[in-house]
Structure 1
Amino acid sequence: MFDRVLIANRGEIAVRIIRTLRRLGIGSVAVHTASDRDARHVREADIALQVPKYLDIEAIVGAARDSGVQAVHPGYGFLAENGAFARRCAEAGLVFVGPPAEAIDAMGDKIRAKAAVSAAGVPVVPGGAEPHDALEGWRDFPALIKPSAGGGGKGMVLVRSATELAGAIESARRTALAAFGDGTLLIERYVENPRHIEIQVLADAHGTVVHLGERECSLQRRHQKIIEEAPSPFVNPETRARMGAAAVEAARAVGYVGAGTVEFIVDGTTGAYHFMEMNTRLQVEHPVTELVTGLDLVELQVRVAAGEPLPFGQEDVRLDGHAVEARVYAEDPARGFLPSGGRVLALREPGAGGHGPGAGDRGPGGGPGAADGRAAVVRVDSGLVEGGVVGSEFDPMLSKVIAWAPDRGTALRALDRALARTAVLGVVTNVPFLRALAAHPAVAAGELDTGLVERVLPELVPDVGVPDEVVAAAGLAFHALPQGADPWEVTDGWRVGERAWTTWRLESRAGVHAVQVRGLPEESAEVLINGEKVAGHLRFDGADLVVTLGGRTERYLCARQGDTLWLGRDGGSWAFTRHLIGDPGDRPGAATAGDGVVRSPMPGTVLIVKAQPGERVSKGQPLVVVEAMKMEHTVTAPRDGVVSELPVQAGQPVDMDGVLAVVTSEET
């Protein structure tokens, strides 16, 4: 067994790997960029070394040599499916904790992968691929364009007609080149609303290949998984055996060693399945498999990499109970799921914060029990830390909340309770969206397909403002917080006679709210909002704000940043900026289409500038493409006119609501 392992990754997966290495008595070495020097994985590792980039192969190999490790674990993303990195590790005398480079190359290229598994008798989706097939001549719609070297849904474009094809190819190729350094594309017949089911496989260097059952990954948006579960509510034992055998044959076809995942598109009506791709690495959703099998996949990866045989055979694999995972992203569902960012001002995560998988996690105290008396268990894999900065450099996934229970219904309810206890203040997250999705009737019934989320999206992201009680709580909090040293700034409203009302104008992402407060909130106060007057009281309990309004008490996680107050409750969070006197004035992003100001919808980098100063443009014409967290967003002209200002250029970083262009009317 190894003495020390370097983790060529960051965030929650690096933290999760460190935990298993520590349990095995193996030293851990973290790498980090300059912007990640205070990240959680850096703090938890035994040794941490700085590298220019996580994609810098020579720098990471150099860090491995300098730290005296025997092996390198790539996690997922970055270099995890890079055959050149696996070869370079071997050249340097390092064990790559993953499959052979040849298997990575074979399965990393979707075109070669389809040919290899098809030859092994595994059914594949009909399609064509470059360079031999001309994508421009494809006529079987709807169709899906994919980067041959890609993964994680990046660069995938759905095309429904020939008129969309040229633009889709251009967008997919650009994303493929930027994300994977390879612009080769393939096109496949698009299966409408299928189920996305994947099989976890394990193989050792002694010829044993097994599967650990399936994961249901049909809850997706823009080809990105959101909630995953194991086992699938759709798959019966006979189908599991057939798909598992096909996955094992796919792995054998390329001489696979280690942990990998074979992904299938499944017709939800007929049950017919087709090979889609194989991920030659650990998957983001691997914890649900760990919780239903009682196995630690990272431990098995390390043991296989060290030359040990798998300690069990296919007949020994048992699935116990049900597990569901939700991915917490730094994104704003109310703004079309655009990436968000900021500093983590306060953090609360459910459970004990443990990352270690396996049957040992299913002890008492995890939550309400199910029919067989065993308690539900919550696990959190997180890379978050208070004070950390969430920027636009990396993928927006922050953490994963996973729940296990003896049955699916109890697991879903445990997941909802865990998400309700999740709070990340300072960064907008998708937690309320996850709660709504997990509670949707179709999800509860197990009636899933890859188009479900898009069809029910208005139900999951309702167009509602901030609840009155939350605005009132913010008003009470501002009223109680010290405003300055000047006695004239004291907001208790003291007057000869009775106290006066103080009007607070609080600005949130939903608009500007007015709330009036009279009295001392810590003792006895009155709150007037929307014409309704109620008694109010608050107290600070550590980082919590305990607010009583009209006899009802709520507890909020609370954090202050200058003139902005963040409150978190039930998985949601709200930010309020105070304006004690007068109108709040212009706020970032408040420009309307009529004024011609074009602002960035997210913090990121200008990828392409499609217009020139002085150019006449039409409403809806693309002006600038902004990229953040490997996601592109095209910003268009808000009206007909002339581009009078264009203060950005390709490669320039921009803040959320930063001005990208100004379109002036012809008359002006």
Structure 2
Amino acid sequence: MTTSPFHTVLVANRGEIARRIIRTLRRLGMRSVAVYSDADAASPHVREADIAVRIGGAAAAESYLDIAAVVAAARDTGAEAVHPGYGFLSENADFARACTDAGLVFVGPGDEALRVMGDKIRSKEHVAGHGVPVVPGFSAAGLTDAAIAEAAAEHGYPLLVKPSAGGGGKGMQIVAGPEALADALAAARRVAAAAFGDDTLLLERLVTRPRHIEVQVLADAHGGVVHLGERECSLQRRHQKVIEEAPSPAVDAATRERLGEAACRAAASVGYRGAGTVEFLVSGDRPDEFFFIEMNTRLQVEHPVTELVTGIDLVAEQLRIAAGRPLGFAQDDVHLDGHAIEARVYAESPARGFLPATGDVIAWRAPRGVRVDSAVETGTAVTSHYDPMIAKVIAHAADRAAALALLDAALAETVVLGVDTNIAFLRTLLAVPAVRSGELETGIIGRMPPVAVPAPGERALAAAAGALQSDAPPADGSPWHRSDGWRLSGRAEPRAWTFETDAGEVAAASAGVVDGVAVARDADGDVWVHLDGVTQRLRPLSRREASRRRRSARERVDAAAPPHVRAPLPGTVVAVHVPDGARVASGARLATIEAMKMEHTVTAPHEGVARILVAIGAQVRRDDVLAEVHDTPEEETP
């Protein structure tokens, strides 16, 4: 590319993808415009862009999803083109049309591709007519629940219920039999309406031992269409991808050619333009059999693995195509070099059911020797307003085994203090024998045992205690809050440090400086320690507090189970499953909270009578009491 396709490009996104696009714009000599919400005013992508424009409040609907505000920012800054990244407005046909109407180039496909491929039902019917194999199923559009149940019985169980609009696995429900269908339809509709504004559903045959394989395509406005090989995306949790790689260990050269041809046919059928991904479901029992799932009409989160094995900058190609230029290479010019694997680092608590986590990043250190696309730096605030992914760590090596080893070592080096992450879980997943051998399928994570939090070792405890002991004395000289063992008699005695951790209460035998440790304290006074590839949070307890907790624990041994049912995270109550005063069994569903476009259901801790304290639509904070379950004898039940 001898000249820049554009002079100024607005990036209609945030976080790591905004930073990644800005890098390519800078390399190609183009001016970048960032947009930001109130929650992102101090985010790295705002600082790194040449120009930054505030477009609204923290909620995505008030900022990143506000079409008029984004288009106005582009026009006001003299941008010629708008790159949508992924998520938000990237697959919104109305946004693409608004850009065009404003004289802006939308860096993405045309209107037909967005409208056809943006609807799972329509896209499936469309590509089937062009020789692309599809999963057997039916659309629930316009059907009553009774009619859906009848059609489901005809197709046979198990079935997969999924929203027709949108993607990312949001709202998908697996239905093993007819007794679970009604609840699955209700849950899928709620998520679809909240995330995509459309509760139309699609039901498909559930493929057993499925592998999720996707093919990257590039197409220009001159009829050129090429594929860049496939990516394996089978390691998923609740239909959300966790680890992706290229190429797939299950795809041989002949199958790769067939997959690529099918993907190119799908793209060509809608006059596709730009970078897109055609997703397929491959049977683990018959790896040569594949079915079209959907086409993502945008850049994918996992695009770096394709870039690393092909050497092609997908963002640069998107810009080139958007400027009307033909592809600079043909299919025969595409070659795969080595193996690349990407791990998504999320701000979440695996030990607490992978609930999203929030807080300030008090220390961030990226690993060396690998590619890291990060949304955070030291000081970045991780909020509940957006997706909890904070970074991607991508390893590239000569073969798959070497790439796996390099990725594991890189994750061990990645330091994130101040916010819970899934890094330890990612390393555990990489060590699963089926993952090591490449025998992948989408159910692997679901079969893993619950995540256990290890107790901190002596060195981690010593480092935490050392951090507390190094605290400066109070400015007023008062001895009462000193941490150096000061005593009225003048003789200092070693301080005994007690910490509360997710693994229980522990005590430090010593305090001091530990080699190779990263340690920092957050605003709440908790000590975060990263040592030997493991990160832990330790909450200091005073002697009085530690003693009180031990007494309280002894008193609770014979006490009844606590009645309070608390919110596991901040969010919106979207469903209340039982009426106030109902008698419920242990584990019965009480209420469902939506947060970060995911649903979390709270259940009864024991049998009893439920007192419901919230209503649908209520905004709740973490640990708010949603309900109480009292051990009222059955004969006294209201």
Q: 2:43 is matched with which residue?
A: 39
1:89-126 superposed Cα distances (whole Å, 9 cap, x missing partner): 11111111000011011011011111111111111100
Equivalent residue in structure 1 for 2:541, among 563, 579, 582: 579
| Aligned-pair CA distance for 1:503 | 2.2
Equivalence for 2:336: 319
Match 2:523 to one of 561, 565, 573: 561
Mind listing any 5+ residue stretches in structure 1 that lack a counterpart? 352-365, 367-377, 517-526, 528-535, 539-546, 548-552
Q: What's the counterpart of residue 12 of structure 2?
A: 8
Between 426-435 and 132-141, the greater mean CA deviation after superposition: 132-141
Distance 1:605 1:11 in 2: 24
Question: Given the alignment of the two structures, is residue 257 of structure 1 paired with residue 273 of structure 2, yes or no?
Answer: yes
> Would the alpha carbon gap of residues 63 and 119 (structure 1) be closer, same or farther in structure 2, given more than 3 Å must change?
same
Asked if 1:91 corresponds to 2:91, the answer is no
Residue matched to 2:148: 135
Given that 1:324 and 1:412 are in contact with CA atoms closer than 8 Å, whether structure 2 keeps it comes out as yes
Aligned with 2:566 (options 592, 599, 606): 599
1:161 lines up with 2:177 in the alignment: yes
Q: What displacement does 1:256 show?
A: 0.6
- Aligned equivalents of 1:570, 1:289: Cα separation in 2: 31
Query: For the structure 1 residues 651 and 426, does the alpha-carbon distance in structure 2 shift closer, same or farther, using more than 3 Å as the test?
Result: farther
TM superposition shift of 1:611 = 5.2
* 1:198-218 deviations in Å (ceiling 9; x for gaps): 100000000000000000111
Residue number in structure 2 paired with 1:66: 76
Most deviating of 95-104 and 58-67? 58-67
Unmatched 5+ stretches in structure 2: 57-62
8 Å CA contact retained: 1:154, 1:630 = yes
In structure 1, C-alpha distance between the alignment counterparts of 2:350 and 2:46, rounded to whole Å = 30
1:503 aligns with 2:496: yes
User: Secondary structure, in 3 states, of the residue corresponding to 1:491?
Assistant: coil
Residue in 1 aligned with 2:320?
303
* Aligned-partner Cα distance in 2 for 1:593–1:401: 46
Residue 658 in structure 1 maps to residue 620 in structure 2: no
Matched ranges for 1:381-396 at <5 A: 381-396=373-388
Q: SS of the residue aligned with 1:122?
A: coil
Partner residue in 1 for 2:59: none
* Mapping for residues 127-526 of structure 1, pairs under 5 Å: 127-131=137-141, 134-137=147-150, 138-139=152-153, 140-271=156-287, 272-351=289-368, 366=369, 378-458=370-450, 461-462=451-452, 464-482=454-472, 484=474, 485-493=477-485, 499-516=492-509
Do the aligned residues in 2 keep the contact of 1:641 with 1:666 (CA within 8 Å)? yes
Q: Determine helix, strand or coil for the equivalent of 1:58.
A: helix
User: Is the 1:403–1:415 Cα contact (8 Å) retained in structure 2?
Assistant: yes
Q: 1:569 to 1:121 in 2, by over 3 A?
A: same
Q: What fraction of aligned residue pairs are identical, expressed as a percent?
A: 56
Match of 1:358 in 2: none
Structure 1 residue 394: deviation in Å? Answer: 0.9
Structure 1: which amino acid aligns with 2:498?
R
Q: Residues 56 and 433 from structure 1, CA distance in 2 versus in 1: closer, same or farther, beyond 3 angstroms? A: same
CA distance in 1, matches of 2:211, 2:463: 44
- Report deviation, 1:330: 0.9
Alpha-carbon offset, residue 450 of structure 1: 1.0
d(CA) in 1 for partners of 2:490 and 2:386?
A: 58
Stretch of structure 1 that moved more, 624-633 or 599-608: 599-608
Using the TM superposition, give the Cα deviation of residue 46 of structure 1 relative to its aligned residue in structure 2, in angstroms. 1.1
1:24 aligns with 2:28: yes
In 2, Cα distance between equivalents of 1:456 and 1:613: 36
Q: Which amino acid aligns with 2:353?
A: G
Deviations, residues 340-392 of structure 1 (Å, cap 9, x unaligned): 111111111113xxxxxxxxxxxxxx3xxxxxxxxxxx100011022222111
Q: For the Cα contact (< 8 Å) 1:220–1:453, is it kept in 2?
A: yes
SS of 1:281's equivalent? Answer: coil
Report the more deviating stretch, 267-276 or 422-431.
267-276
1:106 aligns with 2:110: no
* Aligned partner letter, 1:619: S
Q: Which amino acid aligns with 1:578?
A: P
Residues 149, 182 of structure 1: 8 Å contact kept: yes
Asked whether the 8 Å contact 1:143–1:158 carries over to 2, the reply is yes
Taking the aligned partners of 2:170 and 2:533, their CA distance within structure 1 comes to 28
**Secondary structure, counterpart of 2:545 in structure 1:** coil
| Deviation (angstroms), 1:571 | 4.2
| Structure-1 separation of matches of 2:581 and 2:236 | 42
The answer to whether the 8 Å contact 1:625/1:635 transfers is yes
Amino acid of the structure 2 residue aligned with 1:104: L
Q: 1:346, 1:559 within 8 Å by CA — same for their partners in 2?
A: no
Q: CA deviation at 1:177?
A: 0.5
Tell which deviates more after alignment, 315-324 or 632-641: 632-641
Report the counterpart of residue 369 of structure 1 in structure 2: none
The superposition leaves residues 272-301 of structure 1 with CA deviations (integer Å, 9 ceiling, x where unpaired) of 111111101000000000000001000000
- 1:303 to partner: Cα distance: 0.7
CA distance in 2, matches of 1:466, 1:638: 29
* Secondary structure at the counterpart of residue 26 of structure 2: helix
Cα distance per residue 1:444-498 (max 9 Å; x no partner): 211111112222344xx33533334322332233233235332344333367797
Tell me if 1:629 matches 2:634: no
State the 1:442 CA deviation: 1.8
CA distance in 2, matches of 1:492, 1:382: 39
Aligned equivalent of 1:77, options 84, 87, 106: 87
Q: Name the CA distance, whole Å, in 1 between partners of 2:268 and 2:214.
A: 17
Q: Shift of the alpha carbon at 1:617?
A: 4.4
Bigger shift: residues 30-39 or 498-507? 498-507
Q: Is the 8 A contact 2:453 2:503 kept in 1?
A: no
Q: Are residue 121 (structure 1) and residue 131 (structure 2) matched?
A: yes
What displacement does 1:408 show? 1.2
How much has 1:406 moved relative to structure 2? 1.4
Matched AA of 2:330: G
SS in 1 for 2:404: helix
**Secondary structure of the structure 2 residue equivalent to 1:594:** coil
Opposite residue 135 of structure 1, the aligned amino acid is: I
Change (3 A) 1:401 1:267: same
- Cα 1:422–1:637, aligned 2, differ >3 Å: closer, same or farther? same
Task: Provide the rounded CA distance (Å) in 1 between the counterparts of 2:328 and 2:449.
Answer: 45
Give deviations 1:324-344, integer Å, cap 9, x for gaps: 100000111111111111111
> Is residue 291–residue 323 contact of structure 1 (8 Å, CA) maintained in 2?
yes
Query: Counterparts of 2:132 and 2:560 in 1: how far apart (Å)?
Result: 53
The alignment partner of 2:410 has SS state of helix
Give the distance between the partners of 2:381 and 2:410, measured in 1 at CA. 24
Counterpart contact for 1:340–1:603, Cα < 8 Å: no
Query: Quick check: 2:165–2:192 contact (8 Å CA) kept in 1?
Result: yes
Q: Describe the shift of the 1:442–1:641 C-alpha distance in structure 2 as closer, same or farther (beyond 3 A).
A: closer
Of 438-447 and 475-484, the range deviating more from structure 2:
475-484
Q: 1:331 to 1:562 in 2, by over 3 A?
A: closer
Paired residues of 2:467 and 2:520 also in contact (CA < 8 A):
no
